[in-house]
Chain A
């Protein structure tokens, strides 16, 4: 009995100690997207370097995919000069928040 209690307590403490990556918050993401909107928020906007093509639409994209893309830009695995610079300035939480914003239907005002 005592053993079980000890084990349970230890397990609970361990859970608390592991840093929890909070899920993305669309409202927080809305406050952080000024760097994104200048290109991704303009219909038909194109990137000019290194190639010319439309900047992808993000509205309704899966959050998990957006986070993976941002992480890949940050690590250099995916290359695009502007995106590498921007993603490099984002924390994991920023990425989660931005991804949650674009994936969600929330479109409140930026404060």
Chain B
């Protein structure tokens, strides 16, 4: 009984950490998105085809991409510079903002 309570606590902690890391504020993200818009478009739809559209993309994917650029796991000369000064919260906020815009869709 006690053991299951401990397991439950660990699980609960795990979930809360995960949620914390990924809960971004779209409004705050919008306020931080001016630099992104220069390449990815003001509405998250880029006019240059080598820059990906971000509008409507999953927020956890966008967040992961930003984190990977920052850690160096994903390499891109432009993005490496852009993410340098972004905090974890900034990345979550930006991801939340772009994911809420209308754009990309799931295509089978």
Contact = CB atoms under 8 A, between A and B. Distances in A.
Interface of A: 37, 40-43, 51, 53-65, 68, 77-79, 101-102, 107
A59 B50 contact: no
Interface stretch (B5-13, B30-38, B54-62): B54-62
Contacts of A68: 50
Question: For the complex, would chain A's binding face be called helix, strand, loop or mixed by DSSP majority?
Answer: loop
A101 to B, nearest CB: 8
Q: How large is the interface on B (under 10, 10 to 19, 20 to 34, 35 or more residues)?
A: 20 to 34
Contacts of A56: 57-58, 61, 104
B2 interface: no
Interface of B: 46, 49-53, 56-58, 60-61, 63-64, 73-75, 103-108
B60 A41 contact: no
A54 B60 contact: yes
Contacts of B73: 79
